[in-house]
Structure 1
């Protein structure tokens, strides 16, 4: 009775906790919207190439380094969340992101820009990225997949918002002032939102029969440590495959449109907005699905879609615009799906109280997939003279993913 009374007395934003917790989702989305500006780097490249007198390969360096630091710092941060607290980590990470952008506005050469944007801003993104998901997962044990999926929409849809915003600022004020403005705005916005990103007391849980039923059936207390299970290694491999295929597709979307489909460069670039929409909207959908169905079936569904997309592109030729759009919508859709499947499956398969640490470790699969994905497609293009051959390994990896998912992704008890 005392616990129930405490649950009822707990408030968020002046509302009962069960109602107020829903406001944490849009706030988390806003944080990730700021962080996801890293995916709008293509908007900055041309102005920076002109300003710093550098080539296309050099202008990609800050972005590549940012992804490496982001993928490296996110797992490390997971080990300190419970010790330091979500609010402090989010505020610190947001400050680092802002400082990275501000210092980038003063960069006079590509080496300095790689340090300020790639290393510093990328570190801030990695530190902050997991916090909104941890907060959503803790406040929504009854709807964790949906809550986490909705929260990370912000990162996926960020290019739709921040790319045109950055383009408008660059046209109006120039590249240096734009980086300075974004740095100041991100610092203030994330710092203010971080004050709200607190987790519930350990004993708090939502009221209602539905959650009681979920607790009895779906959240057993006798799960082994994650690293002792075959499910972890299966999930890691599946996530790595999903990230590798998705990120390699993202990297070649526009070149494939121009070289294979013979689309005009401006039209090819415009299709990316459509793909980004699919990438964002798939996150709550796959989070919801992973809450309701075994992870192995949801994972297999993404791989079937990847195989379909690969077959479409293997048979695509000049002028087949619809084929290209359908295929790449599926590639981007599945990548967004994996960014919801992996955190939700981590919650469902392993001890939820260790979520921050566990997902940090699982997230290393994304880092490996990102590194391989950005290298493989380009290397195949150099070897064979066309991107068409890149779709053979994507189909093959999807078949491997189906086998791994169906044989390993299940709860293990001791």
Structure 2
């Protein structure tokens, strides 16, 4: 049988590859749903403060360290996905993240919790996070942005599902047994899915897919060295700006509602679930847009929305609940958008065969945005006495982002 015939007869879950490949998206979503539980850490903080006799600052440390190691391991893991394969990397990530949760259930000090949850579980998230995106990007050369955007919904929507689940388990079993239960569940689910993941044969694609996309990249000569490409630095800067603004806003969502708008804590907490929904649905939308339009146009649209939201919050008054809800839905929406724009643009600008390594390096921009974004807004609140002043530098960054996207977020003309 010829190679061409083998590709034509390829089956996924017993279906022709063109249809069966769609089943890989919900599997990837489920993996990322488990990994995204890291964003539900707030549910564990209060119970742990009581059990470990620690303050609010200390209870935030495991989460902060987990985000750091998640961002640190992403680029490292990207270089091992092609060598070890998607099944091994997914299984390894699942074992490490699950093990981190299980070990956390035995921690008797905040230092041990930082090690088990922050370092170990965060490392597991970083190892496995990029694998589902690599898998779907290979199986969907005709719909890269849409497929990647749909897959990473799992990470964005995870708090909506896992936070109430964890909260219910804590109310029944207390916090440490809950960590153990979640660790076992995550390990089993991710290991089970790892068995089903695989990549298509080299150069596989659905019939005639290139004719469906007016922005097809098949004639483009990709840069040989990512770090020597001007396109990489343009994408990195734009991604860092987008995530810095988004993560800054996310970190102050509830406090702004309570302190600036003067809504009650219950409504502020409920609002975060609504914001998370917008963070999730924006990912396939921006992925789809990034498939069909030039990346800098999509980026400019995102920054423009952010600028409008900043202006709304700068002028917001007490009891102005509608303005608060609309503005923060936009902030969360645009952050989710950047988590689709960046991987899709990486696929378009650079060699798709090296996507795992390339996006791992690009993802360091997220790490920088997370580090600065989670620190700067609190400092502004301490300096000026109100979170309102945080929206001025965010607006300035949005303007800088518009100019950066206009001039830098483009392919190297020499290529």
* Same fold by TM-score greater than 0.5: yes
1:76 corresponds in structure 2 to 76
Query: Could you give the per-residue CA deviations for residues 284-327 of structure 1, whole angstroms, max 9, x where no partner exists?
Result: 00000000000000000000001000000000111000000010
User: In the aligned structure 1, how far is the partner of 2:23 from the partner of 2:210?
Assistant: 20
1:48 corresponds in structure 2 to 48
2:7 corresponds in structure 1 to 7
Query: Could you give the per-residue CA deviations for residues 164-185 of structure 1, whole angstroms, max 9, x where no partner exists?
Result: 0000100111111100100000
2:385 corresponds in structure 1 to 385
Query: Could you give the per-residue CA deviations for residues 209-258 of structure 1, whole angstroms, max 9, x where no partner exists?
Result: 34356599422252213222211101100000111000011100000001
User: In the aligned structure 2, how far is the partner of 1:43 from the partner of 1:321?
Assistant: 24
3-state SS of paired residue (2:262) = coil
Number of matched residues? 413
2:113 corresponds in structure 1 to 113
User: In the aligned structure 2, how far is the partner of 1:312 from the partner of 1:143?
Assistant: 35
For structure 1, the 5+ residue unaligned runs are none
2:16 corresponds in structure 1 to 16
How far residue 353 of structure 1 moved from its aligned partner, in angstroms, is 1.0
3-state SS of paired residue (1:108) = coil
Q: Does 1:150 align with 2:172?
A: no
2:134 corresponds in structure 1 to 134
Query: Could you give the per-residue CA deviations for residues 62-93 of structure 1, whole angstroms, max 9, x where no partner exists?
Result: 00000000000011100111111011000001
Contact 2:306-2:330 within 8 A present in 1 as well? yes
User: In the aligned structure 2, how far is the partner of 1:359 from the partner of 1:241?
Assistant: 17
3-state SS of paired residue (2:233) = helix
How far residue 2 of structure 1 moved from its aligned partner, in angstroms, is 3.4
Contact 1:138-1:200 within 8 A present in 2 as well? yes
1:340 corresponds in structure 2 to 340
Contact 2:62-2:117 within 8 A present in 1 as well? yes
1:211 corresponds in structure 2 to 210
For structure 2, the 5+ residue unaligned runs are none
How far residue 196 of structure 1 moved from its aligned partner, in angstroms, is 1.3
> Which moves more between the two structures, 9-18 or 219-228?
219-228
> Which moves more between the two structures, 1-10 or 175-184?
1-10
Query: Could you give the per-residue CA deviations for residues 26-74 of structure 1, whole angstroms, max 9, x where no partner exists?
Result: 0000000000000000000011111111110000000000000000001
Contact 1:221-1:351 within 8 A present in 2 as well? no
Change (3 A) 1:2 1:183: same
2:186 corresponds in structure 1 to 186
Query: Could you give the per-residue CA deviations for residues 82-107 of structure 1, whole angstroms, max 9, x where no partner exists?
Result: 11101100000100001000000000
Query: Could you give the per-residue CA deviations for residues 106-162 of structure 1, whole angstroms, max 9, x where no partner exists?
Result: 000100001000000000000000000000101100000000000000000000000
Contact 2:28-2:133 within 8 A present in 1 as well? yes
1:284 corresponds in structure 2 to 284
Change (3 A) 1:213 1:258: closer
Contact 1:219-1:348 within 8 A present in 2 as well? no
> Which moves more between the two structures, 365-374 or 349-358?
349-358
How far residue 198 of structure 1 moved from its aligned partner, in angstroms, is 1.1
> Which moves more between the two structures, 127-136 or 228-237?
228-237
2:27 corresponds in structure 1 to 27
1:297 corresponds in structure 2 to 297
2:219 corresponds in structure 1 to 220
1:317 corresponds in structure 2 to 317
3-state SS of paired residue (1:80) = helix
Contact 1:3-1:203 within 8 A present in 2 as well? no
How far residue 408 of structure 1 moved from its aligned partner, in angstroms, is 1.6
Q: TM-score scaled by structure 2?
A: 0.98
Moved beyond 6 Å, runs of 4+? none
Contact 1:73-1:123 within 8 A present in 2 as well? yes
2:65 corresponds in structure 1 to 65
User: In the aligned structure 2, how far is the partner of 1:116 from the partner of 1:411?
Assistant: 42
How far residue 203 of structure 1 moved from its aligned partner, in angstroms, is 3.0
Contact 1:303-1:402 within 8 A present in 2 as well? yes
How far residue 3 of structure 1 moved from its aligned partner, in angstroms, is 3.9
Q: Does 1:365 align with 2:357?
A: no
How far residue 352 of structure 1 moved from its aligned partner, in angstroms, is 1.1
User: In the aligned structure 1, how far is the partner of 2:402 from the partner of 2:197?
Assistant: 37
User: In the aligned structure 1, how far is the partner of 2:44 from the partner of 2:103?
Assistant: 15
3-state SS of paired residue (1:120) = helix
1:177 corresponds in structure 2 to 177
3-state SS of paired residue (1:249) = helix
